[in-house]
Each structure stands twice: as structure tokens, then as C-alpha cells.
Amino acid sequence: MSSDRVPRRSIGDVLAELQAEFPDISLSKIRYLESQGLLEPARTVSGYRNFSATDIETLRWVLVQQREHFLPLKVIKQRLDQAGGVPLDNAATNGATIPATSTSATRTAQIHPGAGSLSMTLDELCSASGLDAAQIAQLEKYGLIDPVKIRGRAIYDGNAVVVARLAERFAAFGVEARHLRMYKVAAEREAGVLEQAISTLGGKPRAASRDRLQALSSLGTEMRAALLAQLLDTHLD
């Protein structure tokens, strides 16, 4: 059956259908995505939104791109425009993507050069991370994320998404931004050591430096996990 013959749904119906899959979705978010040109539901004579099956498929795809690939809305819209709808491959392949954070304490660290190439607004960062504007402000206050100002507007990169999502998970355990400051300090010290280590490569190709930096970063992650396990051993028995 074509989408034109499928009964259209109200915005409330759409919210009810998608809420289990996307707990953070709300009426205001659906309206916001429409205002950004990502959705174009029909309107009744009275002005109420009327969503087709295609509209719902598009909305679901947009939400997946935000949740799984952390793409800013402008990139998502570009993909929709280029494909004339939901891309056939149904995957976010254009632009950089940010890896989902792992729940494993011993996850191998990875450095993602493409993360810094993303750009998103405060609203988009809040949507991608699950934090509110006040919580994002706290992360900025303690130097955990560092937006750039463009025409007076804060713009965040993909690294900010990763940090914000981790901070959201820490918050569930009562760990606030001020407590996370220690990770920033430790990371700055570690970065200095690693930069010194790769400086011995001299004029070798950039790829060699990147590979060495990746290897050192992974070792650092394993070392931290091992030392932390030693310190917390009595609590883990």
C-alpha cells in the first residue's frame, strides 16, 4: 500500500508511536525539527499537522542520526535534500560521525580526528547528549568542553558531544561537572607526555605520528584501568 493511502496521523499519535524507541522525544522537539525544514507534514483545513507514513519514517531516521551518529541538523538536512528523502542506504555516511561511548571500563581509547570537524548549536548538543543548557554551561565552566564563538553564537564540535554524553552518564551516579574536572587536568598532563613521545619521530610522515599516538593513547587507557582497579580492589571483591 502506498504511503498516500495510509491514514495520516496527528502529532500526538506520532509521539505515542515513537516514544518507546526515543524516550527523549517530545511534541516541542517534533515541532522544532519541522521548523528546521527536516519535516513537512501536511496540514488539515483547521491547521493541524497530519503525518503520513513517509513523514514518520523521515522523523525516525532523523532521530537515529542524532542519537547514533551525533550529526548536527544541518548535515542531516543536507543528506535528506541530496537523496530527496530518507537515503536508501539508511546510514550516516556523509560527514564525520562520533563513536558511541562504551560502557566498558577497559575500552581501548581511540582518537578521532574527524570529530572536530562537526559543528552544532547549543540546542543540538543538548538534544544529542541528553543534558540541558545549564548542565552544558557547567561543563564549559570547568573547561571540559570549549565552544568557539561565531557571530556571538556558541558552536560545539563532535568532541563536545562525546564529553557531554559521558557527563550525562556520570550525572546518573551523582557525579557533577566539578568532579569531572580531575579528568581534564589528568588528560592535559597525559597529552603533554604523549606529544613529547611522538616528537622523537622528527620528519616522519604524519600517518606514522598518528599511529604512534593512537597506540600510546590505548596503552594509557589500559594503564589507567589497571591502576584504578588496584586502588579500588577492596570495593570490587
Contacts of 11 (CB under 8 A, 6+ apart): 27, 30, 31, 41, 48, 49, 51
Q: What is the CATH classification number for the domain harbouring 141?
A: 1.10.1660.10
Residue 3 has what pLDDT?
44
Q: Give per-10-residue mean pLDDT for the chain (237 aa).
A: 61 92 87 90 91 92 84 84 77 45 43 58 88 95 92 86 92 94 93 85 68 87 90 78
50: helix, strand or coil: strand
Residue 166 has a pLDDT of 92
Cα(221)–Cα(212) distance, integer angstroms:
14
CB 138 within 8 Å of CB 203: no
In a domain, 98, yes or no: no
User: Is 102 exposed, middle or buried (CB count within 10 Å of its CB: 0-12, 13-18, 19+)?
Assistant: exposed
Would strands 153-155 and 49-50 be described as parallel, antiparallel, or unpaired?
Answer: unpaired
149, part of any domain:
yes
Instruction: Report the number of distinct structural domains present in the chain.
Output: 2
Q: Which of 83, 99, 129 is the C-terminal boundary of a domain?
A: 83
What sections of the chain are H helices per DSSP? Answer: 11-18, 27-35, 53-69, 73-83, 122-129, 133-141, 158-171, 177-198, 206-231, 233-236
d(CA 180, CA 103): 17
Are 16 and 79 members of one domain? yes
Residue 96 inside a domain? The answer is no
- The alpha carbons of the chain give a radius of gyration, in whole angstroms, of 21
Q: Are 136 and 145 in contact (CB under 8 A)?
A: yes
Q: Is residue 117 part of a domain?
A: yes
What's the pLDDT score for residue 93? 40
Same domain, 189 and 131: yes
Residue 103 in any domain: the answer is no
Phi and psi angles of residue 153, each rounded to the nearest 5 degrees, phi first: -110, 135
Question: What's residue 55's pLDDT?
Answer: 92
Expressed as residue numbers, the domain containing 29 is 3-83
- Going by their DSSP bridges, the two strands 148-150 and 153-155 should be labelled as antiparallel
Choosing from 65, 83, 101, the residue where a domain stops is 83
Asked if residue 128 and residue 74 are part of one domain, the reply reads: no
- 7 with 67, same domain: the answer is yes
pLDDT computed for residue 94 by the predictor: 41
How far apart CA 140 and CA 162 sit, in angstroms, is 14
